[in-house]
Amino acid sequence: MDFSDETQYKIIINELFVEYFQSLSKENKSKAKLALSYYLSRSELDLERLFDSCLPPFDPPKNARDFFVWLWEALFNDEYYTIDPNEVYKIVKDVHEPNRPAKSN
């Protein structure tokens, strides 16, 4: 495929990512939405590195952040992704943590 313009990226997002996202549980959709909004709200994060870490079978657009914005638009339409900068978030470096069962108190 020719990924020289955003149209090709949006086709892939709509054909693959949106359908997969719709198959997730409500809880996992919420986690994914929060994670994506966090990454889009933090300008200091390296989104090209994040894109590459997912090992997609295609290169990122010139600005990798655009891919995640297009993904947000496809999944959440007109919702605004920016989170409150005063919110406190705990960064967990265990990539498998979201998939672990919740601990009961």
Q: Average pLDDT of 62-68? A: 92
pTM summary value: 0.77
What dihedral angle (degrees, nearest 10) is formed by the CA atoms of 57, 78, 75, 9? -20
* pLDDT 10s digits, 3-31: 778 899 999 999 989 999 999 999 999 98
**Residues 47 and 64: beta-carbon distance below 8 Å:** yes
* pLDDT 10s digits, 75-101: 999 888 877 665 666 667 776 776 777
